[in-house]
Amino acid sequence: MQTKIDRGILLVISGSSGTGKGTVCNSLRKRRPDLEYSISATTRSPRAGETDGVEYFFLTRDEFKRKIEAGDFLEYADNYGNFYGTPRDKVLELLNLGKTILLEIDVQGAHQVQKNYPDGVFIFLLPPSIEELKRRIIGRNSETEESIQKRLSIVNDELESGKSYNYVVVNDEVERAVDEICAILDAESLKVGRNLNLFDELVKNS
């Protein structure tokens, strides 16, 4: 049955660093090409293979601060010494067009979105165990020892804030986690509040 969605869905996928947010979101985007992806801004340097405007908009700290002052971010966070933020206008424009937008952001940022946009769908991605989380952060080979320790030191607090999300998905196996996220999206798109037009059309044509 075709459903017409009145308003777009703001889908927020968050969780501790190393859980597999990026990996799961990449696979989700391949499976669901209809999803719009919000490209974040960051002050961190591009990694090998990253292109400005594709993975991130790479900004200087001054440029980023000017955008904070101008209120250009839906949320932003100082994440291990670098700023990361979600451009506000693009997200709101796409939501108004009825699109589903995927935000892959850290726990601090998701907390701000919960406050500013409580209608969002918040999914907390869990690692199968803390041991596996450590293996993944170390195995990614992208952090210094200090940065790994910083990330691990906030995991318990992040897990606590995960309890306020709408859904939890365990990233034990990527494709299985993506199956669950797709099921969540399907159920969310069938919510009455997102489909009031179906009722109105029936009444109008009766």
75 three-state secondary structure:
strand
* Nearest distance, CB of residue 51 and ligand ADP, angstroms: 18
Q: Which two tokens stand for residue 110?
A: 């998701």
- Please tell me whether residue 20 binds ligand 5GP under the rule CB under 6 A: no
Selected from 8, 12, 20, 181, the binder of ligand ADP by CB under 6 A is 20
Q: Per-residue contact track with ligand 5GP, 99 to 138, x per CB under 6 A?
A: -----xxx-xx-----------------------------
Q: Per-residue contact track with ligand 5GP, 27 to 56, x per CB under 6 A?
A: -------------x---x------------
Name which of ligand 5GP, ligand ADP, none residue 10 binds, using a CB cut-off of 5 to 8 Å depending on partner kind. Answer: none
Give phi and psi for 189, each to the nearest 5.
Answer: -70, -15
For residue 71, the one-letter residue type is G
Residues 166-205 that bind ligand 5GP (CB under 6 A): none
- Please tell me whether residue 85 binds ligand 5GP under the rule CB under 6 A: yes
| CA distance linking residue 174 with residue 160, whole number of Å | 23
Give which of 138, 161, 160 is closest to 149, Cα–Cα: 138
CB atoms within 10 A of CB 171: 23
Name which of ligand ADP, ligand 5GP, none residue 109 binds, using a CB cut-off of 5 to 8 Å depending on partner kind. Answer: ligand 5GP
- Burial (Cβ within 10 Å: 0-12, 13-18, ≥19) of residue 42: buried
* Nearest distance, CB of residue 164 and ligand 5GP, angstroms: 16
- Please tell me whether residue 35 binds ligand ADP under the rule CB under 6 A: no
| CA distance linking residue 183 with residue 37, whole number of Å | 18
| CA distance linking residue 6 with residue 196, whole number of Å | 7
127 three-state secondary structure:
coil
- Burial (Cβ within 10 Å: 0-12, 13-18, ≥19) of residue 150: middle
Name which of ligand ADP, ligand 5GP, none residue 158 binds, using a CB cut-off of 5 to 8 Å depending on partner kind. Answer: none
- Please tell me whether residue 19 binds ligand 5GP under the rule CB under 6 A: no
Give which of 148, 118, 110 is closest to 15, Cα–Cα: 110
Q: Per-residue contact track with ligand ADP, 163 to 192, x per CB under 6 A?
A: --------x-xx------------------
List interacting residues with ligand ADP (CB under 6 A).
Answer: 17-23, 136, 139-140, 171, 173-174
